[in-house]
Amino acid sequence: MQNITSLIRLRMSAHDAHYAGDLVDGAKMLHLFGDVATELLIRSDGDEGLFVAYDNIEFLAPVHAGDYIEASGQIVSMGKTSRKMVFEARKVIVPAGIAGQPSAANVLDQPVVVCRASGTCVVPLICQRAKP
């Protein structure tokens, strides 16, 4: 099996904040993993497929509005129609929190892993297409 991976990076906005202190709901990380899974399935099968289930989810650090999150995933095994995947979300940039400079931000020397998950997606046989 070839190594199929996906990576997306985006900034969490004030719109993403759901709780006090501009805290972002953990479900946002699962939304990102869903987008990563979709790309993985398109790369592997030429079809978006269906996400069937997560079998493990770990929320490891808080995410706040203004944080830049990098979400990645990889297909680790492939059955006839199922694709087992692993995901990781990392905080790579954070607001600097400098008084009088609300737009200041810091690139982290070491990304902070905020969430890990694994799950299974399915691409029905009829939807699988040969890859170019």
pLDDT interval class at 85 (50, 70, 90): very high
Q: Is the pLDDT of residue 132 over 60?
A: no
pLDDT interval class at 3 (50, 70, 90): confident
pLDDT tens track for 87-108: 999 999 999 989 999 899 999 9
Output the six-digit token pair for 129: 């297409």
pLDDT score, position 131: 63
Q: What are the start-end ranges of the H helices in 1-132?
A: 27-45
pLDDT tens track for 48-77: 999 999 999 999 999 999 999 999 999 999
Q: Which domains does the chain have, with CATH numbers?
A: 5-127 (3.10.129.10)
pTM of the model: 0.92
The torsion region of residue 30 among left (phi > 0), alpha (psi -120 to 50) and beta comes to alpha
